[in-house]
């Protein structure tokens, strides 16, 4: 299959020629560079209009023949997407070949899967306008976690603009961070979701109050990339996967790649980051995925080829893959390696939050102390509120160690039946009614016995009566459920029925509002 791919979601006008027989990819790109500030949609569209014909001509000069034309259908800036789509339609008609519409974010994942040879990896996408963790399950790429506000690249760009640095800001932050030292900044992880708005505001304030720019850049990278690495490890732990690929332009940052590689080595997992030309926005990934889609017969009629600036990866019906799932049965023995701790199972449970080598030691010590204290306190408070939890036998905050009662025979992930999921919905509602947010309610953090379900691992928990926080707690569970349950809809209905029975229905109304936001753009 020989495919001409065209990319133009925001700043990069790009065309590529891919021949699946040789696996060779020829890419030509002409990126838009604003004079100052960030990307201006009108200027980006003007650049796209001028550059797209030229890059297509260059790519075609490498093509012996073309079997299909693929284009980035979204997400992205509407004016840019429409220019690219128009060019793709015209080219497909003139060559009399099929037209393929590609989701830009799925292409970031698929190029990593294609180049690595991994069978079914978890993918971290870290790009300008997006940040999320994906895994293939039930015929789609499920979003296991994502930013709650802005994309990681855009967040770094906003900080850089505050310092009057040009676009893109990420490389400039990376360069200044080389001579920095750690200063304290916020760190926000909720299950496998994360937030950048608070840390960016704090970083701007730190610079304005006289902190060295190099130190703030260093701490900014340490915290932001540690958040991304942590949620990637949580996704590996949740699914049981031992493969991780990185996608997106921010993936060119050496510190981020180093953190992910260190984390994967510690978990005995395989890590792959594509070469830089496939990380930044490029038509090569569009052509490669376009070839797979065309071979599967997943093509578009001209009248069906409208672009979608909010095109989420979990909206894509994956036609080019089989029925395999990223989620595997997680075997448990005497020792269990979780996302941030090792658990020794015996007459009692000994849980130790080991130092994470990928994190800066100061940040790591803070998080281990805070989360161990939170887990001990909230486990006991939840028990008093009527939610089954293990009894806390001993706590050592200095070592980050807990000794707890051994409860249950297996994690809920081993038996995701609707009736057991319904029970967890009741427990979560009871927690919220008592002002407790679990923080990481996944099937791995509930334990089954013959007659009851226990809630465990409150390390990310906190106290709040805010409706939004309770709804986000529910959202975290349903996101994890979507990537692991065989019958997701039946389990979700049962979970929400249990929640409604014991909790405030307004939380589920707020959940629907959260789902409709499409957090990342």
User: Nearest 5 degrees, angle CA 175-CA 180-CA 186?
Assistant: 100
Judge contact between 316 and 141, C-beta under 8 A.
yes
Residue partners of 93: CB distance under 8 A and separation at least 6: 302
Bridge-based pairing state of the strands 189-190 and 193-194: antiparallel
Helix (H/G/I), strand (E/B), else coil: 335: strand
Residues designated as active site: 440
Helix (H/G/I), strand (E/B), else coil: 348: strand
Going from the C-alpha of 432 to that of each of 63, 142, 239, 466, 506, the distances in angstroms are 60, 26, 26, 9, 12
Helix (H/G/I), strand (E/B), else coil: 393: strand
- Residue for token pair 């998080």: 367
483-489 contact pairs (CB < 8 A, 24+)? 483/135, 483/137, 483/142, 483/144, 483/235, 483/238, 483/239, 483/326, 483/327, 484/137, 484/238, 484/239, 484/327, 484/413, 484/416, 484/443, 485/416, 485/421, 485/443, 486/138, 486/416, 487/418, 488/138
Nearest-angstrom CA–CA distance, 290 and 71? 8
């Amino acid at each position: 299959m020989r495919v001409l791919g065209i990319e133009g979601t925001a700043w990069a006008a790009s065309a590529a020629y891919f021949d699946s027989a040789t696996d060779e990819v020829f890419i030509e790109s002409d990126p838009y560079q604003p004079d100052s500030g960030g990307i201006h949609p009108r200027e980006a569209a003007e650049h796209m209009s001028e550059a797209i014909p030229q890059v297509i001509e260059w790519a075609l000069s490498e093509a012996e023949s073309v079997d299909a034309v693929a284009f980035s259908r979204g997400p992205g800036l509407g004016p840019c997407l429409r220019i690219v789509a128009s060019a793709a339609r015209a080219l497909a008609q003139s060559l009399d070949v099929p037209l393929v519409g590609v989701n830009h974010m799925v292409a970031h994942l698929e190029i990593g899967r294609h180049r690595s040879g991994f069978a079914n990896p978890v993918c971290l996408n870290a790009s300008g306008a997006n940040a999320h963790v994906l895994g293939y399950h039930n015929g789609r790429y499920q979003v296991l976690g994502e930013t709650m506000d802005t994309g990681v690249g855009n967040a770094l760009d906003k900080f850089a603009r505050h310092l009057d640095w040009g676009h893109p800001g990420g490389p400039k932050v990376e360069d200044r961070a080389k001579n920095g030292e750690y200063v304290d900044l916020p760190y926000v992880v909720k299950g496998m979701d994360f937030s950048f708005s608070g840390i960016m505001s704090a970083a701007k304030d730190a610079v304005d109050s006289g902190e060295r720019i190099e130190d703030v850049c260093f701490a900014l990278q340490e915290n932001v990339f540690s958040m991304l690495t942590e949620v990637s490890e949580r996704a590996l732990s949740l699914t049981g996967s031992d493969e991780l690929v990185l996608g997106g332009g921010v993936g060119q940052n050496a510190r981020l790649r180093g953190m992910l590689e260190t984390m994967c080595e510690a978990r005995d997992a395989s890590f792959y980051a594509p070469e830089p030309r496939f990380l930044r926005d490029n038509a090569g990934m569009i052509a490669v995925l376009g070839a797979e889609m065309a071979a599967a017969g997943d093509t578009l009629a001209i009248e069906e080829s409208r672009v979608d600036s909010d095109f989420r990866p979990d909206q894509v019906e994956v036609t080019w893959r089989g029925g395999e799932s990223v989620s595997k049965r997680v075997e448990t023995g005497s020792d269990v390696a979780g996302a941030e701790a090792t658990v020794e199972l015996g007459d009692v449970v000994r849980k130790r939050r080991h130092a994470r080598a990928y994190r800066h030691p100061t940040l790591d010590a803070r998080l281990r102390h805070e989360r161990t204290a939170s887990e001990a306190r909230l486990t006991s408070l939840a028990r008093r509120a009527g939610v089954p939890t293990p009894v806390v036998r001993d706590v050592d905050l200095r070592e980050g160690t807990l000794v707890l009662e051994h409860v249950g025979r297996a994690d809920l992930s081993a038996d995701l039946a609707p009736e057991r999921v319904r029970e967890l919905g009741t427990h979560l509602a009871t927690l919220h009614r008592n002002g407790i947010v679990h923080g990481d309610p996944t099937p791995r953090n509930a334990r089954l016995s013959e007659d009851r379900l226990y809630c465990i691992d409150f390390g990310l928990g906190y106290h709040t009566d805010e409706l939004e926080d309770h709804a986000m707690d529910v959202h975290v569970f349903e996101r994890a459920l979507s990537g692991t349950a065989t019958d997701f809809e039946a389990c979700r209905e049962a979970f929400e029925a249990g929640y409604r029975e014991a909790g405030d229905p307004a939380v589920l109304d707020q959940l629907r509002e959260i789902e409709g936001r499409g957090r990342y753009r």
